[in-house]
Structure 1
Amino acid sequence: MLSLLAAAALAGFIYGISPGPAVLALMGISAGQGRGAATRFVTGLLAGDAVWAALALAAIIGAQSIGTLVFDVLGLLCGFYLLWLGFAALRARPAGADAPLVTPSRPLLRGLAFGITNPKGYPVAVATFTALLSAQSAALHWGLLPVLVAAAVLGSFLAYGILVALTGLAPMRRLYRRHEASIVRASGLIFVGFGLHALAQSVPGLLARS
């Protein structure tokens, strides 16, 4: 039991700390608004992580994939959301002298949106959890799902704690502010790329159903 919980927590940690649009957004929020806003942002991310961890673990325990329709719809939403973020970053202009380029007014809601529409989402979650839990698959059953999800969320929480601590360091904040324009523009291009990839993955499946 303890080994299963440890594996789920490690999977959540790896899932949370691996690079992606959310990590880039966290850097900007932490540098521009401080650790308090960054903490609210990652709190929103945790809600999304709980959803993806639950779906991935349900698929593994059930030894079958969840129906693809829900992921195609989420992929479509994710794609449009990331395109919006990307174009907003590419067009961003500072509000005044020394003002940050991007300043989300509601970090918690922004984190929640990022978590639910995370482009890593289901495929990465399934791959990570499968790699770490497959050796103990015989011990998995539906009764363990809640505690495994809780362990995974704890792992993600630890990962985000490390990221918030690192991005909140004065040298990191100075580095970000010094090169903010370049980082924001590059992040915008990455968001657009992720968005187009999400649409390319989800649209064909939805069109096939129609």
Structure 2
Amino acid sequence: MSHGLYLMTALAGALYVLSPGPAFLALFSLAATHGRPAGARFVGGHLIGDVFWTALAFAAIIGVNQLGPALFDALGIACGLYLCYLGVKAVLSREGAATPVGSNRPLMTGVLFGLTNPKAYPVSVAMFTALTAHYASGLSWDAAPQLLAAAFVGFILADIFLVWAAGLAPVRRFFQRHGLVITRLVGVMFIAFGAKSLVDAGRSIASRS
């Protein structure tokens, strides 16, 4: 199997964690008020949700890939449109949209947050679809454990970086003052990934026409 597929899967895992979204905002708001230890416990719990939703995303991507490119493209279009929808909502968000996470049990909060976030599945499908589309032939059930392991490496590296960054005093002050701007940047990034999924799906459809 191509090493490029593993690399892109790990990159997708890292970007899935690093891309600003509900968990990103929750981590930074929690770290801003309670420091790095609370943030580390939060992402440790949230990692369970990341692995769960990513496993489901791989199951969907691999299953659709084996059933044919048309369904794979349809999945890319659906997820791309949903990412764009989320992005537009974030760009149009108003003051107070980023509610700080204040909890005495950040680990359990992270677990529940990760497992119940309704956006996690479509976002993970769109992210992995967008970055592994060129390696579709290498996506198989036999490769699924290795792909999940590669994504897990990306999760861990991104979580370590986020916890470190979230605990920096300037970052904490910046987030407290400019939470709305960060929320709107969420929208820009989601729209960008959604557009990439749509473009990739469109090119695939055009190549078969």
Per-residue Cα deviation, 1:106-158 (whole angstroms, up to 9, x for no partner): 11111111111224311111111112222111122212111211211221222
Distance 1:55 1:176 in 2: 32
- 2:112 counterpart residue number: 113
- 1:17 counterpart residue number: 18
Contact 1:13 1:152 in 2 (8 A): yes
Distance 2:62 2:174 in 1: 44
Instruction: Indicate the SS of the match to 1:141.
Output: coil
- 2:89 counterpart residue number: none
Unaligned runs of 5+ in 1: 66-88, 93-100, 191-210
Distance 1:102 1:149 in 2: 29
| Percent of aligned positions that are identical | 48
Distance 1:130 1:165 in 2: 29
Contact 1:20 1:120 in 2 (8 A): no
**What is the deviation of 1:183?**
4.6
Report the RMSD for the aligned CA atoms in angstroms: 2.7
1:31 aligns with 2:47: no
- 2:192 counterpart residue number: none
Distance 2:117 2:149 in 1: 19
Contact 2:26 2:101 in 1 (8 A): no
Contact 2:54 2:148 in 1 (8 A): yes
Distance 2:133 2:112 in 1: 30
Distance 1:175 1:60 in 2: 38
User: 1:1-210 alignment to 2 at 5 Å?
Assistant: 1=1, 2-63=3-64, 103-176=102-175, 179=177, 183=179
Relative to the length of structure 2, the TM-score reads 0.64
Relative to the length of structure 1, the TM-score reads 0.64
**What is the deviation of 1:174?**
3.3
Distance 1:150 1:135 in 2: 20
Distance 1:176 1:135 in 2: 36
Instruction: Indicate how the Cα distance of structure 1 residues 29 and 137 shifts in structure 2: closer, same or farther if over 3 A, else same.
Output: same
Letter in 1 for 2:11: L
Instruction: Indicate the SS of the match to 1:142.
Output: coil
Distance 2:44 2:52 in 1: 13
Contact 2:45 2:108 in 1 (8 A): yes
Distance 2:179 2:132 in 1: 36
Per-residue Cα deviation, 1:65-112 (whole angstroms, up to 9, x for no partner): 8xxxxxxxxxxxxxxxxxxxxxxx89x9xxxxxxxx753111111111
Contact 2:13 2:151 in 1 (8 A): yes
Letter in 2 for 1:117: T
Aligned pairs, number: 152
Instruction: Indicate how the Cα distance of structure 1 residues 136 and 28 shifts in structure 2: closer, same or farther if over 3 A, else same.
Output: same
Distance 1:183 1:55 in 2: 31
Instruction: Indicate the SS of the match to 1:143.
Output: coil
